[in-house]
Structure 1
Amino acid sequence: MSDDAPEQDSKTEDPSQKKLDDAHKKGDVAKSQEVTTWFMLLGSGIVFAMLSPWISSQLSQSLSLIMMNADQFDVEGSGFADFFNGMAFAIIGVVVVPLLVLMVCGVLANLVQHRLVWSVDPITPKLSKVSPIGGAKRLFSADALVNFGKGLIKIVIVGAIVVAVCWPERDRLDTMMTADPIMILMDFQEIGIKIFASVLAVITAIAAADYFYVRQKWWKRQMMTVQETREEYKQMEGDPHVKGRLRQLRQDRARKRMMAAVPDATVVITNPTHFAVALKYDKSMAAPKCVAKGADAVAFRIRELAKQSDVPIVENPPLARALFASVEVDETIPGEHFKAVAEVIGFVMRLKRPGGGWRPSA
């Protein structure tokens, strides 16, 4: 414990996505057993409330048929195998639906806590798992103490709920043994549903608190030191896949910024379908600047944004191709295109404000 505390105190950085993904691949996820218990209890309550009359009826019919025709069954040789198989299939046919319900609840209990995990690491044999010293540490650890406390609390709570529900029904329970079997089943189901509902309500609070505790402890275990963060960053920088992903992200951000500048452009010059170059100019600028450019699909998007923002679109194929090849985004246009661009911007500005326009300096 003394060695682990300083190490944990040095973990001051939130875990990276890579650290979380690696933990997930190893099967190290935040999982509360109390949440699983809650779902299994819910599934059991559903089975008890909705299927118990049907299950009782099916079993009763099968057993009644056996008892009424017991003298007609051949229990010698192959006849005994047929009799046993028929009885086994009858029982399996009754219990398969409850088993499916519980299986679905078990899967949901995991899906609500974390993504699907496909890992053999948790079940891989390790010496630390069979070490007597390691076993003693786990037995007397803080987790074991917390689990022991939770177990005691649940036993006390469930016992109190059973007593609280059954005590008012004590008179009915006394006469249940002399009642009709069908009435016994109905009374038993009614009392059982009350117990399930009450226990489920209490377990809900316990499961929520336990998941929060487990999640916080798991997150704290995944935290990283400053040195680990630096080393991981260096490793990621050297990974070609990561480099490609970072480059793609930078390109996406640059494209978004470029598209956001189109509504503020002065004019968009097209060729008219393959290329589009958006230029911006005002009196404070020495020369027009390219704020966006693109080919094919990007050009189409630039034209659409220009139409939506009432930015003039001028078709000039030679100029559009020349600007697309010679100027980058956020750069002023080259000097050899001043005259052609001046004519376009002058035309656009005259439409808005007669007499205005940009002229290249001599």
Structure 2
Amino acid sequence: MSQDSGQDRTEEPTEKRLREAREKGDVPRSRELANLAVLGMTALAMLAMASSIGSAAQGWLRGALTFEPGLLGNPDQLAGHFARLLAGLMVPFLPVLGVALLACLVSPAVMGGLRWASKSLQPDFKRLNPASGLKRIYGKEGFAELLRSLLRVVLVAGVGALVISGAMSKLLAIPRMSLEGAIGTGLDVAAMTLVSIVGSLALLAAIDVPWQKFQHRSKLKMTKQEVRDELKQTEGNPELKARMRQVARQMSQRRMMEAVPTADVVVMNPTHYAVALKYDSGTMRAPRVVAKGVDEMALRIRELATSHRVAVVEAPPLARALYRQAQVDQEIPVKLYAAVAQVLSYVYQLRHWSPGRGDAPRLQQPDLGADGAPDADAPEAGR
């Protein structure tokens, strides 16, 4: 089965896939929310500035209806006069237009955030494919867009017709009103119509926004194989990481084996644990662990120590405690100082002893005490 099959895309998109989609400009968009933001903020701006717009419109209309005798003998000035009248009409509405332009940023900010996606500006020749275009028009997305457009037209037209029909008596009375009253009544009806249409668009946006987000996430869903491939790319190939850990472990073991011949003593248990210690009073504050191992590694450490004449001491409790509590290339814990000092003292005495010079030194098993004793409940405690 193809990985690109829609039936296989059952996994939610990962953060990496969502981030890449945002970088390409592929974010959810709601046309209904955009219409609501532009028309709604425009209506609010008109209501807030209704008095100033009405006064400006009244002054403009009075000036436009004032007769200018100079135009009678200069018909070539009519075009300029008309341009000045048009510009004068636009000036009161410039703040409203500015608010409408700012409102265009509301929908992108709410749906997917404002982001400059240069990739979306790059030419995509696949969009020029007539088959793809026909598929978009006559496919499910095209059908859904057609239904939304029809619903938008029916709802907005119906709400506008209801508002205007309810205000018909006011509109019919405008010719009998004064100029100021006619302008005020017209603005009231227009504002009421805008508010009603904005309410209908808000209903459409409340339905369209969740639907667009759901559609966008559905489009970005991934197959199980895509999730696995992305995990390999971000966290690395598991087989390669395992191989790297194995190589690192082998290198660490090699370094330990190279350090065993330089050790002063190897503490054993007697075969399951082995810890090699080195101490130089001139350069070290305390004995340092140069190698440690368990089972097969412990036997290798013992064999290497024996072949290089490194003292091997059997002290099972101390060997277990050192293995658990001390780290390679680090000093031993303070609570094991006394026990290790007993072992090193025995080793130094053994080095200076020779047959015929009295009894051979004997090691008294170190007393670890409560703090240094290994956990009796641990699985290895019986080794």
Task: Report the TM range for the smaller structure's normalisation.
Answer: 0.5 to 0.7
Match of 1:200 in 2: 198
User: 1:153 and 1:338, CA in 2 relative to 1: closer, same or farther beyond 3 A?
Assistant: same
8 Å CA contact 1:12–1:223 kept in 2: the answer is yes
Aligned-partner SS, 1:186? helix
Kindly state the Cα deviation for residue 39 of structure 1 after the two structures are TM-superposed.
0.6
Give the number of aligned pairs: 261
One-letter code aligned to 2:25: G
Kindly state the Cα deviation for residue 75 of structure 1 after the two structures are TM-superposed.
9.9
8 Å CA contact 2:25–2:120 kept in 1: the answer is yes
Match of 1:137 in 2: 135
User: 1:74 and 1:103, CA in 2 relative to 1: closer, same or farther beyond 3 A?
Assistant: farther
Match of 2:218 in 1: 220
Match of 1:113 in 2: 111
One-letter code aligned to 2:148: K
1:338 and 2:331 matched: no
User: 1:84 and 1:166, CA in 2 relative to 1: closer, same or farther beyond 3 A?
Assistant: closer
8 Å CA contact 1:74–1:80 kept in 2: the answer is no
One-letter code aligned to 2:334: H
Structure 1's unaligned 5+ residue stretches are 244-321, 343-356
8 Å CA contact 1:38–1:204 kept in 2: the answer is yes
Kindly state the Cα deviation for residue 85 of structure 1 after the two structures are TM-superposed.
7.5
1:28 and 2:26 matched: yes
User: 1:39 and 1:361, CA in 2 relative to 1: closer, same or farther beyond 3 A?
Assistant: closer
> Within 2, Cα distance between the matches of 1:58 and 1:126?
48
> Within 2, Cα distance between the matches of 1:5 and 1:192?
55
Structure 2's unaligned 5+ residue stretches are 242-284, 290-323, 340-368, 375-383
> Within 2, Cα distance between the matches of 1:5 and 1:174?
66
User: 1:75 and 1:60, CA in 2 relative to 1: closer, same or farther beyond 3 A?
Assistant: farther
Aligned-partner SS, 2:113? coil
Kindly state the Cα deviation for residue 341 of structure 1 after the two structures are TM-superposed.
11
One-letter code aligned to 1:332: Q
> Within 2, Cα distance between the matches of 1:341 and 1:154?
87
Aligned-partner SS, 2:115? coil
- Taking structure 2 as the reference length, the TM-score comes to 0.57
8 Å CA contact 2:13–2:221 kept in 1: the answer is yes
1:17 and 2:28 matched: no
- After alignment, is 130-139 or 5-14 more displaced? 5-14
Percent sequence identity over matched residues?
19
Kindly state the Cα deviation for residue 67 of structure 1 after the two structures are TM-superposed.
4.8
8 Å CA contact 1:48–1:189 kept in 2: the answer is no
Match of 1:190 in 2: 188
Match of 1:102 in 2: 100
User: 1:51 and 1:214, CA in 2 relative to 1: closer, same or farther beyond 3 A?
Assistant: same
Kindly state the Cα deviation for residue 160 of structure 1 after the two structures are TM-superposed.
2.2
What's the C-alpha RMSD, in Å, of the aligned pairs?
A: 3.9
User: 1:175 and 1:8, CA in 2 relative to 1: closer, same or farther beyond 3 A?
Assistant: same
Match of 1:150 in 2: 148
8 Å CA contact 2:29–2:107 kept in 1: the answer is no
User: What are the Cα deviations for residues 283-304 of structure 1, in whole angstroms up to 9, with x where unaligned?
Assistant: xxxxxxxxxxxxxxxxxxxxxx
8 Å CA contact 1:26–1:121 kept in 2: the answer is yes
Aligned-partner SS, 1:112? helix
One-letter code aligned to 1:114: G
Kindly state the Cα deviation for residue 52 of structure 1 after the two structures are TM-superposed.
3.7
> Within 2, Cα distance between the matches of 1:135 and 1:122?
18
8 Å CA contact 1:27–1:122 kept in 2: the answer is yes
- After alignment, is 101-110 or 230-239 more displaced? 230-239
Kindly state the Cα deviation for residue 361 of structure 1 after the two structures are TM-superposed.
5.2
8 Å CA contact 2:3–2:225 kept in 1: the answer is no
User: What are the Cα deviations for residues 192-235 of structure 1, in whole angstroms up to 9, with x where unaligned?
Assistant: 33322322222222112111111111101111111211222222
User: 1:118 and 1:4, CA in 2 relative to 1: closer, same or farther beyond 3 A?
Assistant: farther
> Within 1, Cα distance between the matches of 2:73 and 2:336?
108
Kindly state the Cα deviation for residue 97 of structure 1 after the two structures are TM-superposed.
0.6
One-letter code aligned to 1:127: F
Match of 1:37 in 2: 35
Alignment of 1:317-356 (within 5 A): 332=325, 335=332, 337-338=334-335
- Taking structure 1 as the reference length, the TM-score comes to 0.60
User: 1:154 and 1:358, CA in 2 relative to 1: closer, same or farther beyond 3 A?
Assistant: same
One-letter code aligned to 1:46: L
> Within 2, Cα distance between the matches of 1:162 and 1:22?
43
One-letter code aligned to 2:38: M
User: What are the Cα deviations for residues 263-308 of structure 1, in whole angstroms up to 9, with x where unaligned?
Assistant: xxxxxxxxxxxxxxxxxxxxxxxxxxxxxxxxxxxxxxxxxxxxxx
Match of 1:166 in 2: 164
User: 1:139 and 1:5, CA in 2 relative to 1: closer, same or farther beyond 3 A?
Assistant: farther
> Within 2, Cα distance between the matches of 1:206 and 1:5?
36
User: 1:6 and 1:118, CA in 2 relative to 1: closer, same or farther beyond 3 A?
Assistant: closer
Q: Which of residues 54, 57, 61 in structure 1 aligns to 2:55? A: 57
Aligned-partner SS, 2:105? helix
Match of 1:234 in 2: 232
Q: Which of residues 169, 175, 178 in structure 2 aligns to 1:177? A: 175
> Within 2, Cα distance between the matches of 1:84 and 1:163?
33
Match of 1:211 in 2: 209
